Amino acid sequence: MRKTPTILHLDMDAFYASAEQASKPSLRGKAVVVGGLGPRGVVATASYEARVFGVHSAMPMGQARRLAPNAAYLVPRFGFYKAISEQVMGLLRKLSPLVEPLSLDEAFVDLEAGGTAWDEASARLAGAKLRADIRAVTGLTGSVGLAASKMLAKIASEQAKPDGLVVIEPGTERALLAPMSVRILPGVGPATGDHLRRAGIHTVDEIVEAGEDELVRLLGKAHGHGLYAMALAYDERPVVAERETKSVSVEDTYDVDIHDRVRVSLEVQRLADRCVRRLRGAGLSGRTIVLKVRRYDFSTLTRSETLRGPTDDPAVVREAALRLLEGVDSTGGVRLLGVGVSGLADFTQEDLFAQAAGERVEPAAEEEVDEVAVPEATAAAERRWVAGHDVRHAEYGHGWVQGSGLGRVTVRFETPDSEPGRVRTFLVEDPALEPAEPLPLTEDVPGAQASASSVPASLPKSRSGNAGGADTSRP
């Protein structure tokens, strides 16, 4: 294992919620919860102000509302978050060719591979500059951990939250890990954690005391050896620049179980079209079509069909998904549907379904797909004014939906650079009101690549977290 803390882990702070606060001046400093708002919705992200009330990610939304009834509850805008993520990942790739994204808001970077850092001092400078650049470009904050391995860098970034930088100095790793819960180690999930707890092992130091042979006896050879090495702070996992995409999929969970077979079929077609749009957006095609159905009793069925060659034709994917649906009993009700494509390639074999049927079928144009696939009831539902999403009014300009119901929609008119805006209510069919694209959080900032020794003068107003943030080492 390397001896210098040149592995960097970046974790954006409460990413979705912070992006919403940055976008909406009236929500800055207030509790914000982002996630599914239906009866079966879960929390995707909670702002730090909401976490004070005990709200956290993966919590049922109903429980979150009971804990923080006065918080702002918003539906995610994934396209918006992805655009911000691409800006952040672009900054990381300027530091090194070895960037390993884990999600939209989290990534590892090998600074030494990029020649950006070679010792603790240069690594600290690179981390500080990255935080300043992220703030300048996006208006958001991220926490940075620096260490000699991926495991320790991730632990450091967690200690740095929110809006800080922590360096784990070489030689201090064992002392740092010793009192921590076994759950801090990669590969220790709830099941392994419970197994170790029943054996009287609760901390990392207790893993070391138990010894490698006991770990192997408890967990098996591969897992036991690996976990013991991690407990000794040995982590040889490299930063991997490219992770191969194995599948592309979409799914929806329904607030009310779907019983009507025609509606189920139409939903499957709609999901197939969404999946193909995502597939094409990634420049991919695939051979295996996968259908996922979760029924009323929470039982989940997965069915798949492999084609003769890769395709990105929406008609082919729709027909394959419908064939798979024919073998699924949905009479008791369906609570979740999903369509995916795997066996990915970067080329297509056109008209596979037509070849199998012995005739040519012209693929539907993308703008025609939604008309074919989406049932009227679903299309109407998708045109509802969604809480947190962007709108534009012919007279009042840009705003976002605070809520809707009883034929009316309430909109707050503000932009990322404005003061908190005024609220107005309209009829849902008001012709002057229309959906809009999100506005950028900041203007392009020429000083984004400025020296890390100081925060750029053009830094935007603080929109989340502290202006400076912590910069510490962990002995």
* Each residue's pLDDT tens digit, 313-331: 999 999 999 999 998 988 8
Query: Any residues with CB less than 8 A from the CB of 14 and at least 6 apart, and which?
Result: 45, 46, 47, 48, 51, 162, 464
The strand pair at 334-345 and 285-295 is best described as: antiparallel
pLDDT confidence bin for 379, thresholds 50/70/90:
very low
Q: Which tokens belong to 13?
A: 């702070």
**What positions carry a catalytic annotation?**
106
Residue 379 φ/ψ, nearest 5 degrees: -60, -40
* Each residue's pLDDT tens digit, 229-280: 999 998 888 998 876 667 889 988 887 889 999 999 999 999 999 999 988 8
- Kindly tell me if the per-residue pLDDT of 295 is higher than 50: yes
DSSP class of residue 248 equals E
* Each residue's pLDDT tens digit, 27-50: 999 999 999 887 778 899 999 999
- Return the H-helix or E-strand segment holding 341: strand 334-345
Ranges of beta strands (E only) in 37-161 are: 43-46, 72-74, 99-103, 106-110, 142-147
Residue 21 φ/ψ, nearest 5 degrees: -65, -40
* Each residue's pLDDT tens digit, 129-168: 999 999 999 999 999 999 999 999 999 999 999 999 999 9
Amino acid at 345: A
The strand pair at 164-168 and 142-147 is best described as: parallel
* Each residue's pLDDT tens digit, 170-202: 889 999 999 999 998 888 888 888 889 999 999
Q: Which tokens belong to 56?
A: 């956290």
| Spatial separation of the C-alpha atoms in residues 5 and 421, rounded to whole Å | 45
- Give the burial string for 71-81 (b: 16+ CB within 10 Å, else e): bbbbbbbeebb
Q: Are 147 and 176 in contact (CB under 8 A)?
A: no
| Spatial separation of the C-alpha atoms in residues 308 and 8, rounded to whole Å | 43
Query: What angle, rounded to 10 degrees, do the helices at 78-95 and 15-23 form?
Result: 110
For Cα atoms 112, 470, 109, give the angle at the middle one, nearest 5 degrees.
Answer: 20
- Kindly tell me if the per-residue pLDDT of 203 is higher than 50: yes
Residue where the block lists tokens 């404005």: 418
CA distances to 26, 300, 344, 350, 351 from 362, in Å: 50, 34, 22, 10, 8
Please name the residue ranges forming H helices in 96-189. 120-138, 150-160, 173-177
Task: State pTM to two decimals.
Answer: 0.72
Reduced to 3 states (helix: H, G, I; strand: E, B; else coil), residue 399 is strand
